[in-house]
Amino acid sequence: MKKKLFKTKKLHSFALPGIILVFSLCLGFLVNGCVSGKNKSNFQGVQIGTITYSYRSMPDQSLPAILDYAVKSGIGSVELMGTPLEAYAGIPEDREEIKEWRKTVSMDKFKNIRKMFNDKGVNIHIVKMRCRRWTDEEIDYAFNVCRALGAMGITMEISEEAAERLAPFAEKHNLYVIFHNHGQPGTPGFNFEKFLAYSPKMMLNFDVGHFYGATGTHPNVILEKLHERIASIHIKDKTGPDAAEPDTNRPFGQGDTPVTEILNLIKEKQWPIVCDIELEYPVSEDSNAITEVAKCVEYCRNVLENDTE
């Protein structure tokens, strides 16, 4: 059966409704943060968040502990990993039982999780679920969870398989599938538009560090071109492909990724793109992920509040 694709040249014709919805969702995150006390990591109109994967080295991987880590790091919005989320909601271990559980579990559990986060001043803007090979009922569940949490969409690794499988569900639920990249942009012939063309509900979770580490190209080239289709970025500082130690994670300010220029462009344009810290550089024995994420937040705050060029 021939795949039905949107023409790439028409991307901008359907991008406006998408960016309006993304802007509305991001504005909702800010309002929720204010209701809860304050949104701790919004600087000059740029929302700094983190993917909860950043806390993978911490001993307690329960959902309440992860929330506590985010609060202690000064984070006001998260991309939430699905494993601790479902564990907290009571998912069984048996695969067949999991299928039935996902079809029948009450969304009240996830609404309560949203409240638990919001009460601490933390919003959930994206949920990470590897659901491209789930049953139809399970994919519906994933989007229902996303809505119950107040998130704008589900994120996963970029692939044509995922785009073709999930585009109809994203349109059905009026939420986004938000594709994350690793080093794929370094492959000859790769382009993001191919995946976005499957549906106006396809967006990007653009990893600027992986992109730069694989290509050596300034990520602002992609931001300028596709900002209407970028829901979030992952911020990290990596060396470039031609460095002595190529494509290697470094503490913020010690790599080659132009983090300052990226953040300042988003600030200047006031694009509703959430900027999520992804802690991937090694954490020293005298520190921990909470401390390191907090350092990354402070680095981003200094960039955004000091007009650094």
pTM of the model: 0.88
Which of the pair, 40 or 257, is modelled with greater confidence? 257
Q: Which two tokens stand for residue 81?
A: 């990993």
Could you tell me whether strands 77-81 and 123-128 are parallel, antiparallel, or unpaired per DSSP bridges? Answer: parallel
- Give the model confidence (pLDDT) of 268-307 as tens digits: 999 999 999 999 999 999 999 999 999 999 999 999 999 6
Quick one: pLDDT at residue 307?
65
Q: Which two tokens stand for residue 260?
A: 């300052």
Pick the CATH number of 8-305 from 3.20.20.150, 3.20.20.70, 3.40.50.1820, 3.40.50.300: 3.20.20.150
Q: Is 238 helix (H, G, I), strand (E, B) or coil?
A: strand
Quick one: pLDDT at residue 40?
81
Q: Are 69 and 290 in contact (CB under 8 A)?
A: yes
Indicate the DSSP class of residue 290: H
16 pLDDT exceeds 50?
A: no
Average pLDDT over residues 55-80: 98
Q: In angstroms, rounded to a whole number, what is the distance separating the alpha carbons of residues 258 and 214? A: 14
17 pLDDT exceeds 60?
A: no
Q: Interior CA angle at 115 toward 130 and 33, to 5°?
A: 95
- Give the model confidence (pLDDT) of 228-279 as tens digits: 999 999 999 999 999 999 999 999 999 999 999 999 999 999 999 999 999 9
Q: In angstroms, rounded to a whole number, what is the distance separating the alpha carbons of residues 129 and 173? A: 16
Q: In angstroms, rounded to a whole number, what is the distance separating the alpha carbons of residues 120 and 302? A: 24
Q: Are 45 and 270 in contact (CB under 8 A)?
A: yes
133 pLDDT exceeds 90?
A: yes
Quick one: pLDDT at residue 39?
57
Using alpha carbons, select from 129, 89, 93 the residue that is nearest to residue 112: 89
Quick one: pLDDT band at residue 33, thresholds 50, 70, 90? Answer: very low
What angle, 0 to 180 degrees and rounded to 10, lies between the N-to-C axes of helices 95-104 and 136-148?
Answer: 50
Quick one: pLDDT at residue 38?
59
Quick one: pLDDT at residue 261?
99
Q: Are 27 and 47 in contact (CB under 8 A)?
A: no
10 pLDDT exceeds 70?
A: no
